Amino acid sequence: MCGIFAYKGHRNNAPEIVIKGLKMLEYRGYDSWGIAFKTDHALNIHKQVGKIGDFKISDLKKMTAKSQLAIGHSRWATHGGVTQMNAHPHCTEKNEIAIVHNGIIENFTELKKILIKNGHIFKSETDTEVVAHLIEENLKKGLEKAIKMAIKKLEGRYAILVISEKEDVIIAARRGSPLIVGVGKDENFIASDIPAFLEYTKKVQYLDDNEMVIIDKKPKFIDLKTDKIIKKREVPIEWNVENAEKGVYPHFMIKEIMEQKDTICRTINQNGGGIEKVVESIKKAYGTYLVGCGTAGKVCLAASYLFSKIAKKHINTTFGSEFPSYHHFLTNRSLLIAVSQSGETADTLEAMEVAKEKGCKLISIVNVESSTMARMSDIIIPLKVGPEKAVASTKATTAQLAILTLIAYALAGDLDRGKQLLINTAGQINDMLNPRYEDHIKTLAKKIAGVESMYVIGKAVNYPMALEAAIKLQEVSYIHAEGFAGGELKHGPIALISKGTPCIAIVANDETKNDILGNTIEIKARGGYIIGVSPENNEIFDYWIKVPDVGDASPIVNIIPIQILAYHLAIMRQNNPDMPRNLAKSVTVK
């Protein structure tokens, strides 16, 4: 994995278009990149370690040659180290074809052994190169046939693009990893994500699992199970180029944090009656499961507290990667609610597949309405926050919290009250996100930028926010941060506190207030430097970050200042907050 982009059309600068598209996908995270393009029936390959951002196409003369067909890939290493040889595209010994691939071929070791016995010579350590050699074995039968025969031997998830020196087409196939076709006038694009081709077209066609598409003058879709041609409708995209750009901001992360001034309102003011449908599904279900990964998993955990308090309803919560272990409890009366920004998270998709096999009803809360999760679901609740390009999720997180808060109120029969609470919260966020507030947090970042460890505590619904706060700090500042339930600190973790250790206490103005302040006093007594995130100041705090008092919506406002803190710590520690090391925006492999 991580980013795929390709072009076939009437323009003569295909390499330049593909490199530009890959730059639009940089937010997905990567460590190397490469392209393959066709000129006069020959394939040309260029790949290198590092970032695309500083690369100029004029630096490589052969890329300026006329070419109307190119594929590209930005790689986040899974199999094999970060080397030029392991970067995509991969070719066969004779350079007859070039291939790029997202996903993981789970049986590549067995296939590689067979191919080596058959005389194939491998140049890389990747699982992707196996696919190239499998295709080569049957290339005399034609590119389309050879790809179909190779795919039948693959186990795992993949998105594959192939070009050949002898044919003027791009052939793509997918199983469990996203690919989207952008349909233009006398030209077509295919990418992992829409922003890559948004400049050229706002019409898309979706490639679903176990399907192939042949990109020529018009895309031709084929069902790989039945070998029949599929008719696909063109879907218009509402996003615009400006939404997908940084504008006046230096990074996507701070832009997306500041967009929370209005994203909450957009999230809760959508039409369609989806909330009511979700409520009815929960009422009818015999066991409801909230499933997400990473930040979305922490949102699910927070929602379980909200459902308990507001709706007096028990909801099961687990991470997508762990959910398959619960399949013994699933029946056709069970309900799974999947939470994701991208809608392409591999572990959550696997959880949905397990649930679907048991006949469960599926609901997804996603930002990308055209994602695999959305298309698998019986009901979709879109976040409507626009593209989120920083790897560290911010505006999607608070939108997910808002939707789940609204569902909890609707389940309690008080939807209007929930809406009013969130409208009020959105207004207070608008007041909160001002330059003076950001400067106050920036001052704190300067004080603690040199630390290597810090801790966050919370209680009840804000315990998951302590966990999420730690994730944000880990992701972009690379500070060792851990989140704890306040009451659990004295059962072991308090041994980590020494003089000057920064500790963030998330203190809501609710029934948990005195307990969490008591836990904070215990940290203070052992020399901890206390950062209070609370509606009210307290003598315990060494540094106070004020947040609005918004009742049950406290998780939404409490996480925002920590997002800002993480961002400024990253900048001061000379990290790129949009592209943290070792991470990808959409985790499309297990």
Rounded to the nearest 10 degrees, the angle between the axes of helix 295-311 and helix 395-411 is 20
Instruction: Give CA–CA dist 287/281, Å, rounded.
Output: 11
Residues marked as catalytic:
2, 585
358 alpha-carbon distance from chain centroid: 26
Instruction: Give CA–CA dist 337/320, Å, rounded.
Output: 11
Q: Hey, what are 424's tokens? A: 């009020």
CB atoms within 10 A of CB 517: 18
Instruction: Give CA–CA dist 104/15, Å, rounded.
Output: 26
What is the full DSSP assignment across 163-181? Answer: EESS-S-EEEEEEBS--EE
For 20, residues 6+ apart whose C-beta sits below 8 A from its C-beta are none
Residue 60 is classified by DSSP as: S
- Using left for φ > 0, alpha for ψ between -120 and 50, and beta otherwise, residue 28 falls in alpha
Instruction: Give CA–CA dist 62/549, Å, rounded.
Output: 61
Looking at this protein, which amino acid is placed at residue 546? Answer: K
Q: Confirm if 334 and 287 have CB atoms less than 8 A apart.
A: yes
Instruction: Give CA–CA dist 13/33, Å, rounded.
Output: 18
For 86, residues 6+ apart whose C-beta sits below 8 A from its C-beta are 32, 75, 77, 79, 80, 124, 125, 126
- From the number of C-beta atoms within 10 Å of its C-beta (0-12, 13-18, 19+), residue 400 rates as buried
Helices (H), 508-553: 513-525
Bridge partners (DSSP) of residue 157 are 104
Instruction: Give CA–CA dist 129/486, Å, rounded.
Output: 49
- Compute and round to an integer the Cα radius of gyration of the chain: 25
Please list, residue by residue across 55-93, b when 16 or more beta carbons sit within 10 angstroms of its beta carbon and e when fewer do: bebeeeeebeeebbbbbbbbbbbbbbeeeeebbbbbbbe
Instruction: Give CA–CA dist 430/262, Å, rounded.
Output: 7
Q: Hey, what are 535's tokens? A: 């509606």
First to last CA, the chain: 11
CB atoms within 10 A of CB 239: 13
Residue found by looking up tokens 């379980």 in the block: 304
